[in-house]
Amino acid sequence: MDPKIQKLIKDKSNELLKKSDGQITGDAKEKTTGPLSKVQKRTDLKVTDRRQDVFNKVKELHAKGISKRKIARDLGIGRNTVHSYLSLESLPPRSNPRSTNIGLFSQHIVARSNVQGYMVKDIMDEIYKLGYNGSRTQAYHNINIIKEKHGICTPDLAQVQKERIPYVKPLSSRELAKYIGSCPAVVKNPDQRRYLQTLLDNIPELLVIQKLVRIFKTMLTTGGGNIYRWIEFIKRSKYKMTGSATFANGLSRDIKAVKNAIGMPWGNGAVEGHVNRIKSIKGQMYGRARFDLLRKKVILSKPVNDPQI
């Protein structure tokens, strides 16, 4: 396939994949909140400590007179934890030497999560570039907490992979040769029609070849036209049309026969038909008879719709 056609197919395929994948364009990204700097101050949004729900539940059940053993069994926690929670007035903040600075990027996370096509993976890649110091597991956990708090729902990687990417099968060389001399409107398949129109809109050489094919077909059907001028145009064209030039050189070597085929009302179709019939009979009788029997069979076998024999 021509390198220009291959490059065009690759570019158009990438455009199709970007549209089908739901990724936002550069213009859409500019409308969203810009990336935060590394020195941005901590926002008021704080990541929720999920221990608080368990702490409150322990206090509530104990106030109802439920024993520590039953509280530990119902909540799935240890009795020492229940005893520790009951001895505290409020839950102290988690002291973890591996705590992250995820709070610095909460506004950025909210802004990106509200953009269609953004996934958690994309957000994690961005906050790492901005200075996030935690693990991907911590980031994934805290981003989901922030999304849940703000009622944001974005597709995960599994959901995106399930979406089918539309695929348009390109025209083969034979199909392209079949349709190149016709208007794209005659192509019944809508995908093939769009594909052919895309090629014609982006490759000037194909437009020139389309016009040349139409002119040549008109000369054959009407019996008029200047074949010399047609051949000379191809030879002097500024476009590199290797196949057309080879075809034109072949016509030049037998130009008298080509001119007669265009201008005269007769053709060699009937002769070629008889030759094909004789070859078929010869193949059937190969190794079974001599020439005299083959001659009789050819003469006696009357072809269909041929009153001359």
Q: What is the DSSP string of the chain?
A: --HHHHHHHHHHHHHHHHHHTT---HHHHHHSPPPPPTTPPPPS-----THHHHHHHHHHHHHTT--HHHHHHHHT--HHHHHHHHT-SSPPPP--TT---GGGGHHHHHHHHTSTT--HHHHHHHHHHHT--S-HHHHHHHHHHHHHHTT-----HHHHHHSPPP--PPPPHHHHHHHTTS-GGG--SHHHHHHHHHHHHH-HHHHHHHHHHHHHHHHHHHS-S-HHHHHHHHHH-SS--HHHHHHHHHHHHTHHHHHHHHHSS--SHHHHHHHHHHHHHHHHTTTT--HHHHHHHHHHSPPTT-TT-
* pLDDT recorded at residue 45: 40
Supply the pLDDT for residue 102: 84
2-11, 126-135, 153-162: least confident range:
153-162
Average pLDDT over the chain, rounded to an integer: 76
pLDDT at 66 over 70: yes
Give the residue, 27 or 129, on which the prediction is more confident.
129
pLDDT at position 294 is: 85
Over residues 185-207, the pLDDT tens digits come to 878 888 788 888 888 888 888 88
Q: pLDDT tens, 46-60?
A: 445 677 888 898 989
- Indicate the range of 146-155, 214-223, 252-261 predicted with least confidence: 146-155
The answer to whether residue 154 scores a pLDDT higher than 80 is no
- For the chain, give the percent of residues with pLDDT over 90: 4
